[in-house]
Amino acid sequence: MNDTQHRWTVLLLAVGLTWGLASPALAVRIKDVTHLQGMRDNQLIGYGLVVGLDGSGDGSSTEFHVRSLVAFLRRNGVTVDPDLVKVDNVAAVIVTADLPAYARPGQRIDVTVNSIGDAESLQGGTLLMTPLKGPDGNVYAVAQGAVLVGGFSAGSGGAGASKNHVTAGRVPGGALVEASPPTVLAGHEELNLILDNPDFTTAQRVAEVINGEFSEGTAQAIDAAGVSVRVPSQYANDLAAFMAELERLPVHVDQRARIVIDERTGTVVMGEEVRISTLAIAHGNLSIQIARTNEVSQPYPDSFGETTRFSNVDLAVQEEGDQLTLVPEGVSLGEVVQSLNAIGVTPRDLISILQAIKAAGALQAELVVQ
* CB-CB neighbours of 340 under 10 Å: 21
How would you classify the pairing of strands 258-262 and 366-369? Answer: parallel
* CB-CB neighbours of 323 under 10 Å: 13
In this predicted model, what pLDDT tens digit does every residue of 233-245 receive, in sequence order? 888 888 888 889 9
Q: Considering all CA atoms of the chain, what is the largest pairwise distance in Å, rounded to the nearest integer?
A: 113
Helix (H, G, I), strand (E, B) or coil at 68: helix
Average pLDDT, the chain: 77
Q: Are 180 and 104 in contact (CB under 8 A)?
A: yes
List Cα–Cα distances, 263 to 1, 267, 287, 332, 340, in angstroms. 20, 7, 21, 23, 18
Distance CA 338, CA 7 (A): 10
User: In the chain, what are the domain boundaries?
Assistant: 3-24+258-369, 28-38+184-251, 42-177
Going by C-alpha positions, the residue among 86, 88, 79 that lies closest to residue 125 is 88
In this predicted model, what pLDDT tens digit does every residue of 269-299 receive, in sequence order? 877 777 777 766 666 554 434 454 666 666 6
Going by C-alpha positions, the residue among 291, 304, 338, 321 that lies closest to residue 17 is 338
In this predicted model, what pLDDT tens digit does every residue of 128-145 receive, in sequence order? 999 999 999 999 999 999
28-38+184-251 to CATH, choices 3.40.91, 1.20.1070, 1.10.3470, 3.30.1360: 3.30.1360
In this predicted model, what pLDDT tens digit does every residue of 291-349 receive, in sequence order? 546 666 666 666 666 666 665 545 454 545 555 555 566 555 566 666 666 666 677 77
The mean pLDDT of 18-23, rounded to a whole number, is 41
Distance CA 208, CA 203 (A): 9
The mean pLDDT of 64-89, rounded to a whole number, is 82
